[in-house]
Amino acid sequence: MTNGLAPKINFGIARDGTVGWALCLDSAPATVERCSFVGTRVTAHNAKDTDGSVVWANRACTFRNCFWTGTRGGPNGTGSNGTGAGNLTVSLGSTVTCLVENCTFAYNSINGGVCAGVNVLGGNLTVRNMIFHGNVGDNRIMAADVWLKSSSARAAASYAIFDATNSAHVGGVSGSAVTFGDGILTGDPLFWTPTESAIDVERGT
């Protein structure tokens, strides 16, 4: 899949068992390139654990040169239901890896206790040549940029910039593991677009 765009789509109600409202990859491995998810918002009512994901992948997928900004996924409210959702949710077997490279997650947010970036329910995540900036998660429950939701989940990051690499931005449950390789930076990536203009996308203005 190449050159896709999901602009300012507001899915007001996600019912039980609904995942991947903008894109759902659940039957075969796929490569997603040069796609943008802009201002897509999902509010999951009566949610099961994984409902309300903006993008969902449960195969060995590759995301390359993609862009998430102003997206908002997750449950309506807080609690355990819907905490498996996210703006990109990855649910894989223990030997399977999802590669996310040359992608940007900026100014995304959540409904309730959900990761605003990549939420890994299981398996392995590799992120490289990435920018994570201005994402707002519920850090009482999980990190804003990358969260490993199961003890078997693993993530490896290299050549990426985060606002910070502390538990408010990158982390997981007990038993999970995040490995930072070469080229990890923290700070402001100094986007050309003014911060307020980017946030307006999430607000729907």
Whether the CB-CB separation of 199 and 39 falls below 8 Å is answered with: no
Chain segment 135-186, per-residue pLDDT in tens: 887 655 667 899 898 899 999 999 999 999 998 899 888 999 999 999 999 9
Query: What's the mean per-residue pLDDT of the chain?
Result: 78
Task: Provide the pLDDT for residue 83.
Answer: 58
Q: Which position has the token pair 């019912």?
A: 15
Q: How far apart are CA 185 and CA 195, in angstroms?
A: 20
CA proximity to 58, closest of 86, 100, 25, 16: 25
% of residues, the chain, pLDDT over 90: 32
Going by the DSSP 8-state scheme, the letter that residue 200 receives in this structure is: H
Chain segment 183-195, per-residue pLDDT in tens: 999 999 988 765 5
Whether the CB-CB separation of 74 and 45 falls below 8 Å is answered with: no
pTM over 0.85: no
